[in-house]
Amino acid sequence: MRKLIVLSLLAIATPLCTAQALNQQIVFADTPSGPTSVPKKPISFDVTAIDKTVDPCNDFYQFACGNWRKDNPIPSDQVRWGRFNELGERNRYLLYTELKEAADAPKTPLQKKYGDYFAACMNVDLADKLGAKPIMPELDSIAALKSGKDLAALNLNSFLHYGGHTLFGVGVEQDEKDSSKQILGTGQGGLSLPDRDYYLTDDERTKTIRTQFVAHVTKMFTLLGDTPDQAATEAAAVLKVETALAKGSMSRVDLRDPTKTYHIMTIAEVQKLTPAYDWKLYLNGIGMGKVRTIDISSPGFFTAVNDELTTEPLATIKSYLRWHVLHSSAPYLSKPFDDENFAFYNATLTGQKVQTPRWKRCTSLTDRALGEAVGQDWVKKYFPPSAKANMEELVHDLEAALGQDIQQLDWMSPATKVEAEKKLQAFRDKIGYPEHWRNYSTLTVKRDDLVGNLERDGIFEAKRDLAKYGKPVDEKEWGMTPPTVNAYYNPAMNDINFPAGILQPPFYDDHADAAVNFGAIGVVIGHEMTHGFDDEGSQYDLHGNVKVWWTPEDLTKFKERTECTAKEYDNFEVAPGQKLNGHLTLGENTADNGGLRIAYQALMSVLAKQGPAMATWKLDGYTPEQQFFISFAQVWCENRTEQVSRVSAKTDPHSSGQWRTNGSVQNFDQFGKAFGCKVGSPMMPASGGCRTW
Ligand SMILES: [Zn+2]
């Protein structure tokens, strides 16, 4: 719940808010104790996915993915299904085999640790027997609160105290004005619907969701043993408190602007902002009593917190806290809690039909908690040194292309180009997995205590994070685990990160043509690099400090260009009556557009070196240029439930696969040329579209 800026290829959850984030990402089920079949290995450039009845100049996404979309309906335990998921499911299966083996017959102390973690999660019988018992100590400490002020001293040995289920949490972040310093920061949080809009918007659809939410909270409290009347009163209290917090929260669009989220305050100032909360007591309790200042990224939220602590009866605050403990633990309790949680958060909100098999959920849960433990064994098997070497070469090709791109921009002055080039040269490339693995020796894992493991892991991660305070930044730390199918750019670090999990088909294939690889992983690399220069990343200099390195004229031109992109994507519809938010998705769309262009330029340089035979060689009748664009589009082939499209439009900074593809190609004239499109066709607009990089 603190600020953590990582610009990824796909939506990810914030790692710090362990239990809450897990609840939204990992969906739980009863079920098969293991997989019934082995997920097939995805292939790169799939000619059978193409729907040749569609004109690529009219709807390129449907052309490149039409048959795939028809042949790959959403599996009942998923809410979106794309080629990303094909690879993700295969990686998860391979990880599962490691975990199962470690759970049954561990060979090393590390295997014993992650094997036990997995085994504890798989023990459904024990979870069912325990009911809500595992969360009783936390509920008891809430019941014992005598005043709102006591909140700061909640059970010091519990994850509650570290902010896991309470109104907010604190964590260490790089100072935006001096990225070499690690400071304490805190952000907004405390909501259990996906976005503040769900509390503040009054259209019929949202009002219905709120009604269903209150019914769900009521049901959960009755499962805990409360009377229906008590439960209804408590549910109303939860909605009341969360609505007040939502009103005090910043929008997701504002949260993307680092100049709006930087508010360094002394502890005395923070205390003045929230007199109803005892900061000294809290900071002493988490071992941070020495801290003099804190970055309050969303001060309005803390005003709302203070108002709630001041005006609401203690019983209302207790209901709210109780709910958050219950809500974040629900998937790990007995079946009735798990089922009811699924019914609202998965079935109602996202349209998922069947619960995800438990082995999948437990695999993901273990990867989140001990990813750099199991990841060590995973990369030995599935990430050969040759893959790392090839990837390094590709990254260098792309960096050279971005350098050329910057030099060729007609709207940017030489002075700003020099600064942009410096930032590019300063990029740190991280490929595959960390050089130093995380040390889990102080984390206790018990084979018969799932909820306890989650809590101890939450405290372990919180302490690991807080220990960074005042120390030099560890430039080698990773924010994703090795098997993850994703990638990210971190503006404060100015680094690009590609976990081993993504360096496989359909993204990267040792046996594929350059055109195919540049269209897939090449665009992914270009995407992450462009994040350093999107509307958010461009506000950071080469050292990762928020600092204007542009001439005023160039900055004005840059903003005109990004506004063009924002307006363009504002008009793309993802469900009936539901359009994308052009400013929420601006960074990702800029990265998609820039990444496509840079990867194309890099491919042209490589083909020029390979000679005329390769530059004209056709694969399944497609020229290298066409292969490049098809390979790009096919990374994004997907089907989504309508519910997910609606939730994502409000919460996901990434556009849907359809618009990541069509939005990017219609802004790039080389696409129209490659497919012989007429000027004025949808994928080759007469206006030329929008271009920043
Ligand atoms: Zn991205």
Distance 146 CA to ligand 1 centre (A): 46
- The answer to whether 102 and 114 have CB atoms below 8 angstroms apart is yes
Distance 618 CA to ligand 1 centre (A): 31
pLDDT in tens, 569-605: 999 999 999 999 999 999 999 999 999 999 999 999 9
Distance 589 CA to ligand 1 centre (A): 8
What does the alpha-carbon distance between residue 78 and residue 346 come to, in Å, rounded to a whole number? Answer: 9
What does the alpha-carbon distance between residue 527 and residue 601 come to, in Å, rounded to a whole number? Answer: 13
Distance 60 CA to ligand 1 centre (A): 21
Determine how many CB atoms are found less than 10 A away from the CB of residue 475: 10
Greatest pairwise CA separation for the chain in angstroms: 80
pLDDT at 439: 97
Distance 471 CA to ligand 1 centre (A): 29
Q: How far is CA 41 from CA 83, 86, 212, in A?
A: 11, 8, 40
**Which active-site residues does the annotation give?**
528, 592
3 state SS of 621: coil
Helices vs. strands in the chain: H and E counts, helices first: 29, 12
Q: How far is CA 424 from CA 178, 398, 528, 530, 589, in A?
A: 19, 11, 12, 10, 20
Three-class HEC string of 241-309:
HHHHHHHHCCCHHHHCCHHHCCCEEEHHHHHHHCCCCCHHHHHHHCCCCCCCEEEECCHHHHHHHHHHH
Distance 576 CA to ligand 1 centre (A): 26
3 state SS of 567: helix
pLDDT < 70 stretches in the chain: 1-4, 12-32
pLDDT in tens, 255-289: 999 999 999 999 999 999 999 999 999 999 999 99
Distance 44 CA to ligand 1 centre (A): 21
Residues with Cβ within 8 Å of 499's Cβ and at least 6 positions away in sequence, in order, are: 432, 433, 478, 480, 481, 482, 483, 484, 485, 486, 487
Distance 7 CA to ligand 1 centre (A): 5
What does the alpha-carbon distance between residue 290 and residue 127 come to, in Å, rounded to a whole number? Answer: 41
**Taking Cα atoms as reference points, which of 232, 198, 229, 190 lies closest to residue 215?**
232
pLDDT at 159: 86
pLDDT at 17: 31
Specify the residue for token string 């971190």: 490
Distance 67 CA to ligand 1 centre (A): 27
pLDDT at 611: 85
The alpha carbon of residue 368 and the mean position of all alpha carbons in its chain are separated, in whole angstroms, by 13
